[in-house]
Structures are given as C-alpha cells and as structure tokens.
Structure 1
C-alpha cells in the first residue's frame, strides 16, 4: 500500500446489543462496499442487527479510527483496538493497534494511531477486534469483525486513496509563501506546494476565485517595493496556470509594503512581511461533494 491518506473506521451499534458481552460477526453475513469521489473514499461493511463499519480516507494524511455507539453504557471509558490472526492461523494472536481511544463524548471515541497498519494487516487476512471496558467493572464489551470478501472493494478503495489531493481545503484556502530579501521567483520547495495547491483547485468544482497578493518589507522605495511585489505575485500566478489552474479565476494584486503583518523594525518582522499569499475562494452555496 503506497498511499497514506486520512482514514476513519466507524462502528454503529444498533438496538439489542447492550447486554451482549462478545459479538463475533458471522462470515457469511459480511459484505464490503466501496464508494468514493475526489475528496474522500469509503469502504463500508453493513452487518444485520449490528451496524456499519466504514473506513474513510480524506486528503492531508489524516488517519483516525472513529467509533460511535449510543448503545454502550456511559461508564465505559477505555477503548482498545486489536488486529487478530485469522482463525485458521495457528496459534491465533491478538495485537494491539495504536494506543487507547480518545473519548469525544459518552458515545464517541477515536483512535489516532496505526490505522494504516491495520488496513495493511486486513489486506493480508487479519481480522479486527474492538474492546470497550470500564476501569471499575469487569464487563468488557468486544466486537470481532472478519475481513472476508474484502479484496476487490479494498483495491478500489486504495486506488481512490492514491488519487486524493495532498491538500485539504483547510490547507488550500490560505497559503503563505515567505520570500527572502531580493528573491523574485518561487523556490523549488514553494513550487512543490503550489503544485499541490493546483491539484486541489482543479478537483474542487466549487472554487470560484484564486486571489494572489504580493507583499514586501519597507526596504527600498515605495515604487520599487510595489514592482517587486508584483513580480513575485505574477510568478506564482504563472506557475499555477502552467499547473492547470484556469487563468479566468486567478486575480493578482500587488501591495508593496502597505500591509505589513509584523514590525519592520526587526529582521524577523521584515522576513514575515516579504510574502505572497494565495487565498482560494469557494462559492457560498457550493461544497465539494461528500459521498455518504
């Protein structure tokens, strides 16, 4: 597996499970389904009288496991995730995946570590087990989930993951490139970030404008600073156009030293003021699609 995008595993428990202490989902009831678009990938497993298990991948390498259940007693405060050898392995072993789950509410907790490791283990035949317990009582609630009939939908899920943009909208909407004294064009590292930004913009049909603003410190004349801020902003705009962003949505503005974000009395402040900002504007009624 070459891609490491964001993943969410969602357990939803239906009625009738409060008193159950151990649940092992029958293999013949397991069915995995894949759904995806440009901004997220879903791998779902619906189990009769149990709920739904969903792996969710999103941009920006966010990788978590989220568990929700309105059936678990409120005194359950410890959650652990395991990968299991398949039952035909001898001997079977259960290995903890990541640390404890972090509780967000009485009905929801998340695992933040090693979810990609779990997916890779599942692709090799491992099963999953979730254990939720109370620190004061001996009534742990466990759910064991087999990974049968998963190969084809998992392959589609991984293809979707590999095509997700490297940036999320939260990253893309406000990007700041710092410029050294005398620097007029973007560096190779800055161009790499701009390439990722262009990939996001091309995928998001809701983007209506890309505002590029050039700024300088107060060294030199006002006219010279206005000119160099324009050169920097134009270079960024040209690169985005070459990377496939439509010129019609790009707006370039140059401000010279008029809008400092820090004091020009220090070198550190001047460095902050030498910048090009790129702001991505989306339509108020348009959002990038979310498959459900």
Structure 2
C-alpha cells in the first residue's frame, strides 16, 4: 500500500514489488484480478452473453453511496503521456462499491493495456472530507492478460444479442487493432460459425474531430478496412460484408473531452438476419 502521511489524503496502490495480475479461465467465464493491498480486489469479468464487467470488492464495507471520478495516470517511465479523464461512476454501499460494465469497463482495460493506470478518486467513507485514491497498477498486467484474452476469444457466444451490435475502439490516430479488439473480433467470427442465419454485416469507421476532416475520412476508411480484412482472414463470406466510413461526422459523444474523443475513435459492426 502507498499511504500518504497527510491525514487528508490516502492513496491505495500495489507497489512495484507486490503488483500482480492473475487470470482465471472456466467454462463460460473469464476473470482477470488484481490485489490492491489494504483495500480490496479489482476484477474484470467477461461471461457468455454479457458485456465486459469491472468491479472492486473491498476489505471493509462502504458506509454510504456517492460518486467517484476516474482518471488514467501515466507511469513514471511514460513522461510524454498526459493524465486522461475516463469519467465518473456511482459508488454503492457495501463491499462492492464499484461496479462498471460495458464501454467504460473496456476503456479501463484498454488504458491498462497501453501502460496507463486507472485511478478512482472520492471522498473518504468515514467522514466524506478526506480524499481517497485507488489505483490499478499496470505493473505485471500482461502476466495475466494473455490468458484472459485467450479465454475471452474462446467464449462460445451463442446469443445473437451479444455480438449483433459491436463497437471496436482505436487509439488516437491508429488504424491497427489492439489485442482486446482482436479478442472481440475473434468472438464474432466464432459466433458466425454457429449461426448461418446472419445475412449481412455492416462495418462503419469513425474518428474523433482531431486533425483535418479529409484525413479523418481516410482514417475512418482504413479502420473499417482493417476490421473487414480481419473477418475475411477468418473465413467470413465477403458477400455479406458492407463497409462505410463517416470520419468525424457521426460522433457518439462530444469531441470536447478526452473521454468523448476516445469513444468516437471506433468501428461499429452491425449484424442482420
């Protein structure tokens, strides 16, 4: 634990020596867990028929509900990186104060994969005045990531709703697939082997508003093409695939914030039967 000497500020995080990430793979479920000394256990979970989920189980009960802010901090060896704002989340009473699912859970996983450290900040549960920071260390994150992603890729996604409307996110300016994106696409290709009723796949590339509009159109097209090539390489029938690119013209969220821009750098995949 890293615990500040000042009474008004407490920080919980694994040290370089104590940090570890471990994966547990079972039929229909994949977990990736990280112990935060003196605080609790952080866990990413992916199950059949469900989105990515993240939660923290604490060593002591949260006495009240409220809100926490999530920021992603660079490590000491990432001097060129800046703090990224991830968003805010609700805190609940009890031993599982944080429960996040869907896009924000995926975003936190992406941040760790890029070497960043997602951090929760909130008022102390004892008096609401002191500030508490809880950090997910990126040290040894990849030790458990390979097994976790392998497990995710192997989940049998039998339910159509779990893959019929997918979103793949991209780093700023990038047209390459992250490891998590590949794992998500692997789930899609596996599903398509089980369901011959899928008649069309619509792939649409998007960007944030950084840079010139014409270049963003090109980037969006390349992102869509990257996803299409990945599906074709895994044997998906080209006749059912349609691609399009919208550049910055169809944002999911405002481009005025880092969080919004991160959500706008994406490829959407829609299946139809």
Q: Higher Cα Rg: structure 1 or 2? A: 1
TM-score (norm: length of structure 2)? 0.48
